[in-house]
């Protein structure tokens, strides 16, 4: 083949490829629009039935729309199904029970259980998602097995589904997913949904080798108000090798708010602790809300590290009159120092929250 022929062939191929791509784009858009219009038309007639189903209070009110929806022909149901599944996340009580009944009658749970072992990762993830939305308890075991799936998306969906189903026994395998096997926030949310039944596994995880597992356990114990575990969390705050885990422990103790938390947090604001831990401990003392923290926080206003002093000031602004008195004293005793400036800021914040005119230092520019 000569050079001229080669160039001509290249040109022809390029022209063909551009034309083909143009057609693919146009056909794709046309097809998409056609499907959207068809699905909208098909589901429009059925939507009132769905609303009737989730709006019904008694069994009688629900039975007719349930029968009609359960016997819809397959073509129409396929247009309605995605909307019905997404409705599950938006309703509760009787409405949810009726919707779950409908979806189970349509064979969704059965199909999803079968799809958990499909070759396609998208099918497996979608199946796990549906089972979680339905709260299908029988799916717990296969979903736990899915936690070791090769596909990250499938593992993530299985974690969420187990949380939705509420299988407390799955807590340990879910915790072990925190170290990069599944999204951290999904693991935490699933564990929160499992409730008090997951606490023994969470306490055990406080001594896990993986800092991510310890971090998620600390967060969930704090967020679920597990006051009986405060002692264990104090131990984490004092001695965990990861500063990230210590920071989370300080935050968790601030949420729990027991006396043992107060002393541990005050101790954690000391200079022997890492900067990030001290900042979080000062913030947590504000969350905890005890006036007993005021003297320690007042001392922290003079801390040379900005964020320690600033967090202490913000915490004091939340502690009412005892804090206001301490702030006024600081202004008088330490006039002209950064501590006094932090105190002014805290007082101004109190004024803002109370809707009063702001007290400002005389030197402040207006």
The answer to whether residue 139 forms part of the interface with another protein (CB under 8 A) is no
With CA atoms as reference, report the closest residue to 137 among 100, 173, 191.
100
With CA atoms as reference, report the closest residue to 74 among 100, 106, 101, 49.
106
The answer to whether residue 11 forms part of the interface with another protein (CB under 8 A) is yes
Those residues with Cβ within 8 angstroms of residue 318's Cβ, 6 or more apart along the chain or in another chain = 286, 289
Q: How far apart are CA 99 and CA 206, in angstroms?
A: 39
Q: Indicate the residue among 71 and 86 with the shorter CB distance to another protein.
A: 86
Which residue in 107, 195, 238, 306 binds another protein (CB under 8 A)?
306
Q: How far apart are CA 222 and CA 214, in angstroms?
A: 12
Which residue in 281, 309, 323, 324 binds another protein (CB under 8 A)?
309
With CB under 8 A as the contact rule, which of the stretches 16-24, 67-75, 194-202, 257-265 interacts with another protein? Answer: 16-24
The answer to whether residue 338 forms part of the interface with another protein (CB under 8 A) is yes
Q: How far apart are CA 302 and CA 320, in angstroms?
A: 20
With CB under 8 A as the contact rule, which of the stretches 49-57, 60-68, 291-299, 305-313 interacts with another protein? Answer: 305-313
With CB under 8 A as the contact rule, which of the stretches 17-25, 46-54, 134-142, 262-270 interacts with another protein? Answer: 17-25
With CB under 8 A as the contact rule, which of the stretches 48-56, 65-73, 118-126, 135-143 interacts with another protein? Answer: 118-126
Q: How far is CA 226 from CA 62, 219, 252, 253, in A?
A: 40, 11, 10, 10
DSSP 361: -
Which residue in 4, 75, 150, 272 binds another protein (CB under 8 A)?
4
Place of tokens 């009726």: 98
With CA atoms as reference, report the closest residue to 294 among 345, 247, 329.
329
Place of tokens 């039975």: 63
Those residues with Cβ within 8 angstroms of residue 243's Cβ, 6 or more apart along the chain or in another chain = 274, 276, 277
The answer to whether residue 211 forms part of the interface with another protein (CB under 8 A) is yes
What part of residues 345-364 is at the interface with another protein (CB under 8 A)?
345, 348-349, 352-353, 355, 358, 360-361, 364
Contacting positions for another protein (CB under 8 A): 2-4, 6-8, 10-11, 14-15, 17-18, 21-22, 24-26, 28-29, 32, 82, 89, 122, 125-126, 128-129, 153, 157, 160, 180, 183-186, 188-189, 192, 211-212, 215, 219, 223, 244, 276, 306-307, 309-310, 338, 341-342, 344-345, 348-349, 352-353, 355, 358, 360-361, 364-366
């Amino acid at each position: 083949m000569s050079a001229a022929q080669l160039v001509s062939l290249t040109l022809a191929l390029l022209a063909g490829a551009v034309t083909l791509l143009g057609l693919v784009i146009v056909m794709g858009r046309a097809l998409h629009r056609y499907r959207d219009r068809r699905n909208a038309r098909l589901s429009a007639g059925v939507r009132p039935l769905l609303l009737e189903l989730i709006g019904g209070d008694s069994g009688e009110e629900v039975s007719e729309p349930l029968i009609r929806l359960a016997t819809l022909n397959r073509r129409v149901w396929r247009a309605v199904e995605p909307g019905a599944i997404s409705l599950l996340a938006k309703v509760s009580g009787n409405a949810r029970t009726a919707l779950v009944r409908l979806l189970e009658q349509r064979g969704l749970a059965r199909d999803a259980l079968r799809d958990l072992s499909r070759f396609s990762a998208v099918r497996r993830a979608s199946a796990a998602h549906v089972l979680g939305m339905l709260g299908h308890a029988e799916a717990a075991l296969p979903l736990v097995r899915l936690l070791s799936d090769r596909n990250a998306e499938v593992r993530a969906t299985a974690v969420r589904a187990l949380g939705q189903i509420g299988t407390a026994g799955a807590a340990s395998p879910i915790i072990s997913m925190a170290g990069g096997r599944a999204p951290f926030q999904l693991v935490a949310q699933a564990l929160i949904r499992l409730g008090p039944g997951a606490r023994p596994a969470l306490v055990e995880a406080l001594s896990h080798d993986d800092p991510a597992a310890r971090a998620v356990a600390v967060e969930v114990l704090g967020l679920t108000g597990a006051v009986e575990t405060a002692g264990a969390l104090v131990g984490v705050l004092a001695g965990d090798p990861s500063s990230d885990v210590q920071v989370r422990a300080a935050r968790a103790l601030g949420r729990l708010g027991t006396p043992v938390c107060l002393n541990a947090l005050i101790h954690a604001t000391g200079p022997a602790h890492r900067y990030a831990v001290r900042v979080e401990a000062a913030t947590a003392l504000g969350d905890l809300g005890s006036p007993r923290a005021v003297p320690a926080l007042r001392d922290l206003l003079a801390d040379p590290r900005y964020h320690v002093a600033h967090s202490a000031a913000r915490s004091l602004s939340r502690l009412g009159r005892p804090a206001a008195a301490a702030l006024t004293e600081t202004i008088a005793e330490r006039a002209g120092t950064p501590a006094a400036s932090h105190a002014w800021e805290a007082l101004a914040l109190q004024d803002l929250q109370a809707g009063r005119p702001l007290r400002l230092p005389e030197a402040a520019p207006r």
